[in-house]
Amino acid sequence: MLINRTKFLSLTLLLAGAALAGCGGGDDKAAAPKADTMAEKAAAVADDAAATVADTAEAAKDTAGAMADDAAEAAGDMADAAKEAAGDMMGEASDAAAEMKDKAAGAAHDMGEMAEDAMADAKEAVAGAAAPADDNDPCTLNVLAGDNIAYSTNALSVPSSCSNVTVTLTHTGKLPKIAMGHNWVLMPESAVEEVAMAGMGAGADANYIPADEARIVAATDLVGGGESSSATFALGDLKDGETYVYVCTFPGHWSIMKGTFTIS
Ligand code: ZN
- Note the pLDDT tens digit of each residue in 179-221: 999 999 999 999 999 999 999 999 999 999 999 999 999 999 9
CA of 30 to the centre of ligand 1 (A): 161
Q: What is the pLDDT confidence band of residue 126, given thresholds at 50, 70 and 90?
A: very low
CA of 256 to the centre of ligand 1 (A): 9
pTM of the model: 0.51
Per-residue pLDDT at 182: 98
Most confident of 8-17, 41-50, 89-98, 226-235: 226-235
CA of 249 to the centre of ligand 1 (A): 7
CA of 172 to the centre of ligand 1 (A): 12
Per-residue pLDDT at 39: 64
How far is the C-alpha of 213 from the C-alpha of 221, rounded, in Å?
A: 15
CA of 221 to the centre of ligand 1 (A): 11
CA of 248 to the centre of ligand 1 (A): 5
Query: Stretch 231-260: mean pLDDT, rounded?
Result: 97
CA of 258 to the centre of ligand 1 (A): 9
Per-residue pLDDT at 225: 98
Query: Stretch 153-178: mean pLDDT, rounded?
Result: 97
Q: What is the pLDDT confidence band of residue 99, given thresholds at 50, 70 and 90?
A: confident
Query: Stretch 150-155: mean pLDDT, rounded?
Result: 97
- 49 against 158, higher pLDDT: 158
CA of 179 to the centre of ligand 1 (A): 10
How far is the C-alpha of 226 from the C-alpha of 209, rounded, in Å?
A: 21
Give 253's contacts (C-beta < 8 A, 6+ positions apart): 149, 182, 247
54-58, 127-131, 254-258: least confidently modelled range = 127-131
CA of 9 to the centre of ligand 1 (A): 133
Query: Stretch 154-183: mean pLDDT, rounded?
Result: 97
DSSP-derived pairing of the beta strands 185-188 and 164-171: unpaired
CA of 151 to the centre of ligand 1 (A): 8
CA of 140 to the centre of ligand 1 (A): 21
**Is residue 162 scored above 90 in pLDDT?**
yes
CA of 263 to the centre of ligand 1 (A): 24
Shortest CA distance to 239 belongs to which of 187, 191, 165, 166?
187
